[in-house]
Amino acid sequence: MWLGGWGETLPYYDNRVVLDSDQKDKWGIPLVKIHYQYHENEETMRKDIQASIQEMLTVTGFTNISTYSRLHPGGSAVHEMGTVRMGRDPKTSVLNGYNQMHEVKNVFVTDGSCMTSSGTANPSLTYMALTARACDYAVSELKKGNI
């Protein structure tokens, strides 16, 4: 039997994606540079998950329990989020409340990257709601000639 657990990575400001000012692809476009690391909270959570699994198996009568922990690199889970933060201030966020870029008005980002984190799995319905709201807003702005 195998049990696994996943936990939320908090939205640390120093975890970010930027354009590399030195390295470019063959067309001269800057490459993406990812700055990401786990912090004390994630390490504590990882240890707690491992201890909780051990406890659950013991209490339910399992014996010969062998636990392990693998610290996968950031980005290896399926619902990680937060690289295109939504917010009111263009100095601290990329998107406004309608998922529209502050700096590029005809670009909308409606996947999980607009959310700084997710407390649970399967946030697809939230993406769908964000997309519907962004589309409604974009159509309204197009009709007004704003984008």
Residues involved in catalysis: 79
What residues have CB less than 8 Å from 4, skipping those under 6 apart?
Answer: 53
Task: Name the residue type at position 147.
Answer: I
